[in-house]
Amino acid sequence: MERKTFGLGDIVQMKKPHPCGTNEMEIIRMGMDIRIKCVGCKHSVLVPRAKFEKYMKKVLRPAEPKPETGGADSTPSA
Ligand SMILES: [Zn+2]
């Protein structure tokens, strides 16, 4: 069986959709328990890691490192 990997900020798909109809959740806290936030209604829930791994289907969008902004203009002025 494939091991599930996930991290803070990942958007994951759950096996069971949220009552609001969305089954995409964002991981907003990692620890013994994992806090996920529904992408649809912004409702957050705290679930034990074991339960989360059971209900998580897959990672839809891994958290991307934010592109640096500000002071990125390195073009020398002519
Ligand atoms: Zn929801």
| Residue 65, pLDDT score | 74
* Run of H or E residues at 34: strand 33-38
Is 20:38 a contact under the CB 8 Å cutoff?
yes
Cα(44) to centroid(ligand 1), Å: 8
Number of domains in the chain: 1
In a domain, 55, yes or no: yes
pTM score above 0.95: no
3 CA distance to ligand 1 middle (Å): 26
Residues 5-44 pLDDT 10s: 899 999 999 999 999 999 999 999 999 999 999 999 999 9
Radius of gyration, CA atoms only, the chain: 17
Q: Which helix (H) or strand (E) holds 27?
A: strand 24-29
What does the pLDDT read at residue 3? 60
Q: What does the pLDDT look like over 41-76, one tens digit per residue?
A: 999 999 999 999 999 999 999 997 777 776 556 666
Task: With respect to residue 37, please indicate whether it lies within any of the assigned structural domains.
Answer: yes
pLDDT at 18: 94
Provide the domain limits for residue 27.
11-61
CA of 1 from ligand 1 middle (Å) equals: 29
Q: Which residues surround ligand 1, an ion (CB under 5 A)?
A: 18, 20, 22, 38, 40-41
